[in-house]
Amino acid sequence: MNEVAMTGLALARFVREAGVQLALLLEADGRVIAQHGFVRRIDVATASTLAAAIGATTRELGLFLGDGTLGPIHHGGGDVQLFLAPLPERAPARLLLTVFDARTSLGLVRVFWEDLRNALRREATAQAPSDEDFERELQESLTALLGGL
């Protein structure tokens, strides 16, 4: 199974077990890597951009105070809550943005966020392509397209 499918499965499992409505796996700059679930009122592009901005400013504030790490952030709204947390298993760190309501709890979300981190850590260890893998795949693909020269 490739990395994309494994990441998608890990995120789907997180949504199901934590009981959240939407989970977005983001690059630090806000680009969406994977999405599972749906919330009508949440525009994914806007939410991702804002989440990235929060991540960046929080990191900078941390550096300002002598600690550059980003801890999980919870916004307890009325009927919709947000949980933004780092996934530092890869460099650069990614972000998890999840949206949930009263059908689950912050405690459950945190528990399964840890599980998701572990799953992605295992995946990163297993899937990180080496330079050798990259070069082999590049040469095989070029030969398939252009033939042996």
Partner 1 sequence: MPVVDYPGREITCKIVYYGPGRSGKTSNLQYIYERVPAERRGAMVSLATHNERTLFFDFLPLELGTISGFTTRFQLYTVPGQAYYRNTRKLVLQGADGVVFVADSQRRQQEENIESLRDLHEALADQHVDPRTLPLVLQYNKQDLPRDLISPPHLMEEELNFRGVPSHAADALTGAGVFETLRSISELVLRRLNATSHAGART
**Distance, CA of 147 to CA of 149 (rounded, Å):** 6
> Residues near 140 by Cβ (< 8 Å), separated by ≥ 6?
none
- Check binding of 49 to partner 1 (CB under 8 A): no
**Which one of 68, 71, 77, 129 is in contact with partner 1 (CB under 8 A)?**
129
**Which one of 27, 89, 101, 115 is in contact with partner 1 (CB under 8 A)?**
27
Q: What are phi and psi of 94, to 5 degrees?
A: -100, 175
Q: Which residues pair with 74 in a beta bridge?
A: 83
**Which one of 102, 125, 126, 131 is in contact with partner 1 (CB under 8 A)?**
131
Looking at residues 66 to 85 of the shown chain, list those that interact with partner 1 (rule: CB under 8 A): none
Q: Are 72 and 110 in contact (CB under 8 A)?
A: yes
**Which one of 31, 74, 75, 122 is in contact with partner 1 (CB under 8 A)?**
31
Q: Within 10 Å of residue 56's Cβ, how many Cβ atoms? A: 15
Residue 70: both structure tokens together = 């980003």
Longest Cα separation, the chain: 65
- Closest contact distance (angstroms) between CB of 76 and partner 1 is 29
- Check binding of 91 to partner 1 (CB under 8 A): yes
**Which one of 2, 64, 103, 132 is in contact with partner 1 (CB under 8 A)?**
2
Which residues are at the interface with partner 1 (CB under 8 A)? 2-4, 27, 31-35, 90-92, 127, 129, 131, 133-134, 137-138, 140-142, 144-147, 149
